Amino acid sequence: MSTPVANHEAIEKVRDLIQGIDNAMLTTMTSQGLVSRPMKTQEVEFDGDLWFLTKKDTNKYQEMLKHPAVNVAYVGKSYVSIRGEAELLQDPSKVKEFWNAAYEKLLEVPYDDPSLILIKIKAETAEYWETGNKTKMVKTLFERLTGKESEETDLNKTVDLD
């Protein structure tokens, strides 16, 4: 179980790693197995929850109704994989808060369409690889080559977020 300080630090770290990454891959469970699709990340500061917009008449909506456990993967300055539980919310005021012209073209509906649904993902754990930190990467490779590897230079880490 994580402590409040460790939890806050983990959330800050993940926030920093995913900041500025416009798209993520959302993985859901189907009757045939796992399926991933790109989703536009909402421009809100990560606080342990991730937000996405979709419509009720999509496969992902039906999949999350049956199996709310999901994974969201980000690729940018680092690689981040976030496991969590999806909650499907109908909140027109929140949809309006997130709405922009790109959604109208992408989803082909106005912001007040009743078929719009919010996906709120409560992040449980995150695993990340800090490949964007060149100094840390070089130090890690050097330590691995010389057999002096330490936990401090590990490029991969898993953290609890809830």
Instruction: Say whether pLDDT at 62 is over 80.
Output: yes
- 69's tokens: 């456990």
CA distance 74 to 38: 10
Q: Give the three-class secondary structure for 63.
A: helix
The more confidently predicted of residues 7 and 60 is 60
Identify whether the C-beta of residue 64 lies closer than 8 Å to the C-beta of residue 86.
Answer: yes
Taking only the tens place, the pLDDT of each residue in 5-30 is: 568 888 999 999 999 898 999 999 99
Give dist(CA 86, CA 126) in Å, integer: 15
Instruction: State yes or no: pLDDT of 149 exceeds 80.
Output: no
**Could you tell me the pTM of the whole model?**
0.81
User: What pLDDT shows up at residue 44?
Assistant: 78
Residue 79: Cβ-neighbour burial (10 angstroms; 0-12, 13-18, 19+): middle
Residues 57-72 as b or e (16 or more Cβ within 10 Å = b): eeebbebbeeebebbb
CB neighbour burial string for 108-139, b if at least 16 within 10 angstroms, e if fewer: eeebeeeebbbbbbebebbbbbbeeeeeeeee
Helix (H) or strand (E) run with residue 139 in it: helix 134-146
The C-alpha atoms of residue 38 and residue 7 are separated, in whole angstroms, by 27
| Least confident piece of the model among 59-68, 87-96, 99-108, 146-155 | 146-155
Q: Is 125 in contact with 12 (CB distance < 8 Å)? A: no
